[in-house]
Amino acid sequence: MSAIAPVLDRIDANLEASLERLFALIRIPSISTDPAYAKDCRRAAEWLVEDLKTIGFDASVRDTPGHPMVVAHHDGPQGSPHVLFYGHYDVQPVDPLNLWDADPFDPKVKELEPGRKVITGRGSSDDKGQLMLFVEACRAWKEVHGSLPCRITLLFEGEEESGSPSVKPFLDANSEELKADFAMVCDTGMWNRDTPCITVGLRGLVGEEVTIHAAERDLHSGVYGGAAANPIRILAKILGDMHDETGRITVPDFYDGVEETPSQIKAAWDKLDISPLLGDIGLSVPSGEKGRSIPEMVWARPTAEFNGISGGYEGDGFKTVIAAKASAKVSFRLVGNQDPEAIRASFRKFVEDRIPADCSVTFEKHGGSPALQLAYDAPIVTKAASALSDEWPNKALVLAMGGSIPIVGDFKRRLGMETLLVGFGLDDDRIHSPNEKYDLSSFHKGQRSWARILAALTA
Amino acid sequence: MSAIAPVLDRIDANLEASLERLFALIRIPSISTDPAYAKDCRRAAEWLVEDLKTIGFDASVRDTPGHPMVVAHHDGPQGSPHVLFYGHYDVQPVDPLNLWDADPFDPKVKELEPGRKVITGRGSSDDKGQLMLFVEACRAWKEVHGSLPCRITLLFEGEEESGSPSVKPFLDANSEELKADFAMVCDTGMWNRDTPCITVGLRGLVGEEVTIHAAERDLHSGVYGGAAANPIRILAKILGDMHDETGRITVPDFYDGVEETPSQIKAAWDKLDISPLLGDIGLSVPSGEKGRSIPEMVWARPTAEFNGISGGYEGDGFKTVIAAKASAKVSFRLVGNQDPEAIRASFRKFVEDRIPADCSVTFEKHGGSPALQLAYDAPIVTKAASALSDEWPNKALVLAMGGSIPIVGDFKRRLGMETLLVGFGLDDDRIHSPNEKYDLSSFHKGQRSWARILAALTA
């Protein structure tokens, strides 16, 4: 008999009790942004420590300048991998309270529609529900086998919803203790209720503010118009030239380090119904590179976006002014091995090459981080995908995300760890909003999924 | 003996008395924008009426909803032309008063530098000094000849510095009385202290505000970047495409109605030292059409200027947002016979043709007026230029202006009159600023210039 089958049975048998435990955690209003709830944050950390001790973890509350971390260790068989599982026990504020159907800190199971039960309450999905999946998987495994299949370290943060100010120094100060073979994070979502997914790519980001300076002062366009450089015109021309007719970015060497997504991954993405992404915001025409699918555009291709532009007279009515300066905020989303600082330098040269001799340009740097990319065919990805596909009606999707998840970058850069991102949230979970919920199927099959992933990665 | 020589002598002989009269007018603080000075505005109008009566004009104060007009008539010989001379008796406010070296309403003659005397005081140049030139020329002529060389109507406004709200209705209500063969306005400047000029062209203007609308709301560039239309990118591309590599405007049919400036005029302009125009504002590279001189660019060629641009996040720091909309204020300076509404329509189509199918654009109209252009070789121009060249060390320049003078458009459109623009202000007159002055040479030779122009136009 396989190691996993009785664990799954135990998870099924434990469901009611695991729900009670989640409810107990949700009842603690651990809102990290509001100092009035600081004691509740500590209570949530302490609750987790006590619960983890019942499984046999060496767990402790670890102070930080902000809300405490929970760190817990459990050993595994000789030669087994060491994994770090991350989650966060803090939750978003609940305002406006009057839009909630029920007390956000009095969780319930309710039937959303026939055959679809959900757990209600703040944090039911983000991230208390999700982090307890892994805890419950460990509990069931331990109860069945008397041990865990590998060495496991848990790190639960209490400041994720308020910018994670303590994470970086905590990782640095405890790098020896926390560094594992790889990390696992349960803070993402499923493609839909039947389709789990693994996020292997997170785009990087380079931010630049560019300001074109022309005349020493604002000018009257009647007197100077036609002879004096107009910085808005120079800026518009530069921005307008940054994409070619096919939607490709024209900054030299911009695509260095960009690799093609494997064809079998693209084929899987092509089957997805992605039209709501644009349809829900009133758009329909993909604006990216010609010949690329929407999933490629938002997950696997780099972009140049203009996030803000400003210059001259912006008020009501009209002024016939030629501005002294104009500026734009420009950002690049990066993929693969694109080098943020090389792209910043190439962009600046692209701009400088287009500035008339009597004008000047200044730049302000607004952050830069490379993309985070697990190989689509990395063993942890293929094994986890197979495990997920065993649990859910549909095969697991392997995809990427357009934005960033800071903790993944911190794990990579500070601890040298790759991260497996698997989560069971759904688009309608209303995280950060009134009436947050978590599907009971996510809570139940999510536990089973993590047990299967542990089994697959340690087989 | 010519008719003009004794008139010039009489002007010379009258100089002290004419200065006293100008001082009396300057002492009346006829600030039109400040209601506290409404009685002073009326006093200035009444002073002018009384003075004009001493010359034999049929002069009267004419009420308007704002400050009154002065209208005066004097007949001329049978068959002589009828000219309308326009000026304004109101002045700018004097704040900040502490920056004045002396009481702005206590005029003096002072020596600015050895051999250069100036008249100080608010309105000494703009426009009390300039309008009195013509009055004094008429006075000397009448004293010498007992008559004037042509039928003359004077129109002095009291609201020029506050937007001239009463001019249009007054012209419409009194068009029969005010319509002359042509108008003359003394509210412009000389090229330099030795070189008079005649302004024959005033560029027209079309103003448009264009707003590109994309998604229904602002978007997160991580989630949507690469797929969702970015209105700043669309706008920048459109604005960037509005000029070609040679600086020409690419809006179709934009140059319809633009005529080449006569080669002898261009040759005269080429001799001008125009470099201070850009040098004084820290620029050096003319931004207009390749192969055109700076005077052509600012006086005789049409332009497209971007007067303002706005979109997305414009505050400090950075937000990775894709805006729902972006907008720009665009203006065109027009010359020759360019049709403002045809250009507005062509511009709108140019923009609409470049809007993706799922985005939209809205326009807001901000005024439109055609250029005003006297033929460079019109008889009144060549005669006046010859008269001015007789008076001053250097030959008179015939040039154009980049901006507009609203009264000239009103005379053209409401009364069907062309306008001869001759003035004797200098760049350092500090009109609208503390320590306004008017060169005594402008005041003296300006009177002689108008007498010569009257003689030339009625010979």
pLDDT digits (tens, 9 = 90+) for B23-42: 999 999 999 999 999 999 99
Three-class secondary structure of residue A265 per DSSP: helix
> Measured between alpha carbons, how far is B255 from B248 in angstroms, rounded to an integer?
9
What is the pLDDT, as a whole number, of residue B45? Answer: 98
Cβ–Cβ of A233/B227 closer than 8 Å? no
Q: Is the pLDDT of residue A270 over 80?
A: yes
**pLDDT greater at residue A309 or residue B225:** A309
* Confidence band for A152, pLDDT divided at 50, 70 and 90: very high
Tokens of B115: 């051999």
Distance from CA of B183 to the nearest CA of A (A): 23
Kindly give, in sequence order, each residue whose CB lies less than 8 Å from that of residue B225, ignoring residues fewer than 6 positions away.
A298, A303, A305, A331, A333, A402, B320, B322
Tell me the C-alpha distance between A372 and A401, whole Å.
Answer: 10
pLDDT confidence bin for B72, thresholds 50/70/90: very high
Decide if pLDDT at B382 tops 70.
Answer: yes
CA gap A7, A22 in Å, rounded: 19
State how beta strands A197-202 and A372-373 pair.
Answer: antiparallel
Contacts of B249 (CB under 8 A, 6+ apart): B242, B243, B255, B302, B303, B304, B332
Rg of the Cα atoms in chain A: 25
Closest of A173, A183, A186, A17 to residue A89, by C-alpha: A186
Contacts of A239 in chain B (CB under 8 A): 232-233, 236-237, 240
Query: Is B459's pLDDT higher than 90?
Result: no
Local structure of residue B215 (DSSP, 8 states): S
Pick the CATH number of A4-201+372-458 from 3.40.630.10, 3.30.70.1450, 3.90.550.10, 3.40.50.720: 3.40.630.10
Q: Is the pLDDT of residue A183 over 70?
A: yes
Q: Give pLDDT tens digits for B397-421.
A: 999 988 888 899 999 999 999 999 9
The tokens of A281 are what?
């915001």
pLDDT digits (tens, 9 = 90+) for A379-399: 999 999 999 999 999 999 999
> How far is Cα B123 from Cα B121, in angstroms, rounded to an integer?
6
Rounded (10°) angle between helices A440-458 and A379-391: 140
C-alpha gyration radius of chain B: 25
Query: A307 vs B322: CB contact, 8 Å cut-off?
Result: yes
Mean predicted lDDT score pLDDT of chain A: 95
pLDDT value at residue A186: 96
Chain A: nearest CA to B110, how far in angstroms?
A: 31
The domain segmentation of chain A, as residue ranges, is: 4-201+372-458, 204-277+288-369
Q: How far is B401 from chain A (nearest CA, A)?
A: 7
What is the SS3 assignment for A360? strand
With CB atoms and an 8 Å threshold, state whether A309 touches B222: no
Measured CA to CA, the distance from residue B44 to residue B424 in angstroms comes to 22
Residue A411 pLDDT greater than 70, yes or no: yes
Per-residue pLDDT tens over the stretch A17-44: 999 999 999 999 999 999 999 999 999 9
Residue A448: pLDDT above 80?
A: yes
Note the pLDDT of residue B189: 95
Closest of B167, B244, B166, B96 to residue A233, by C-alpha: B244
Determine contact, residues A121/A132, Cβ cutoff 8 Å: no
Per-residue pLDDT at B275: 84
Question: Is the confidence at residue B1, as pLDDT, over 70?
Answer: no
Q: What local confidence, expressed as pLDDT, does residue A441 receive?
A: 98
Report residue A436 as tokens: 């947050």
> What pLDDT, on a 0 to 100 scale, did the predictor assign at position B426?
95
Structural contact between residues B404 and B85, judged by C-beta atoms closer than 8 angstroms: no
pLDDT at A403 over 90: no
Domains A4-201+372-458 and A204-277+288-369 share a fold: no
Highest mean pLDDT among A69-73, A366-370, B318-322: A69-73
The Cα B444–Cα B425 span in angstroms is 12
How distant, in Å, are the alpha carbons of B286, B447, B454 from that of B1? 50, 20, 17
Q: Cis before residue B127, ω within 30 degrees of 0?
A: yes
User: Is the pLDDT assigned to residue B49 strictly greater than 60?
Assistant: yes
Average pLDDT, chain B: 95
B298: chain A residues, CB-CB within 8 Å = 223-227
Question: Which amino acid appears at position B335 of this protein?
Answer: V
Residue A435: other Cβ atoms inside 10 A: 17
Proportion of chain A above pLDDT 90, given as a percent: 92
Tokens, residue B383 = 């005669």
Give the whole-number percent of chain B exceeding pLDDT 90.
92
Fold of B4-202+371-458: Aminopeptidase (3.40.630)
pLDDT above 80 (res B253): yes
What was the pLDDT predicted at A445?
Answer: 98
pLDDT above 90 (res B149): yes
Q: What is the pLDDT of residue B41?
A: 98
List the A437-439 sheet strands across, edge first: A108-113, A116-120, A437-439
| Mean pLDDT (whole number) for A426-448 | 95
Torsion sign across C-alpha atoms B13, B14, B15, B20: positive
Shortest distance between the Cα of B251 and any Cα of chain A, in A, equals 15
Q: Examine the pLDDT at A438 and tell me if it is beyond 70.
A: yes
Does position A10 have pLDDT exceeding 60, yes or no?
yes
Q: Mean per-residue pLDDT for A168-192?
A: 96
Task: Give pLDDT, residue A217.
Answer: 92
Q: Inter-chain contact B298–A223, Cβ cutoff 8 Å?
A: yes
| Over residues A143-153, mean pLDDT | 97
Q: Nearest Cα to A62, choosing from A86, A42, A82, A47?
A: A42
The pLDDT tens digits for B78-124 are 999 999 999 999 999 998 899 999 999 999 999 999 999 999 999 99
B204-258+302-369 topology per CATH: Alpha-Beta Plaits (3.30.70)
> How large is the average pLDDT for residues B251-256?
98
Q: What CATH number does the domain located at A204-277+288-369 have?
A: 3.30.70.360
Instruction: Answer yes or no: is pLDDT of A1 > 60.
Output: no
Q: Does A226 contact B323 at a Cβ distance shorter than 8 Å?
A: no
Nearest to A29 by CA among A131, A103, A136: A103
CB spacing of A329 vs B306 below 8 angstroms: no
Is residue B429 over pLDDT 80?
Answer: yes
For residue B405, what pLDDT is reported?
86
Task: Say what percent of chain A tops pLDDT 70.
Answer: 100
Mean pLDDT calculated for residue range B214-235: 94
- For the four alpha carbons of A44, A47, A52 and A55, in that order, the dihedral sign comes to negative
pLDDT at B345 over 60: yes
Distance CA A52, CA A69 (A): 14
pLDDT in the model for residue A393? 97
Name the pairing type of β-strands A108-113 and A397-401: unpaired
- Contact A243/B233, CB-based, under 8 Å? yes
Which helix (H) or strand (E) segment is B270 a member of?
A: helix B263-270
pLDDT for residue A241 is more than 70: yes
Mutate to test the interface with B, among A296, A307, A330 (most CBs of B within 10 A): A307
Residues of B in contact with A312 (CB under 8 A): 306-309, 329
Residue B282 has pLDDT above 60, yes or no: yes
- Residue that has been written with the tokens 């039960």 in this structure: A117
Res. B276: pLDDT tops 90: no
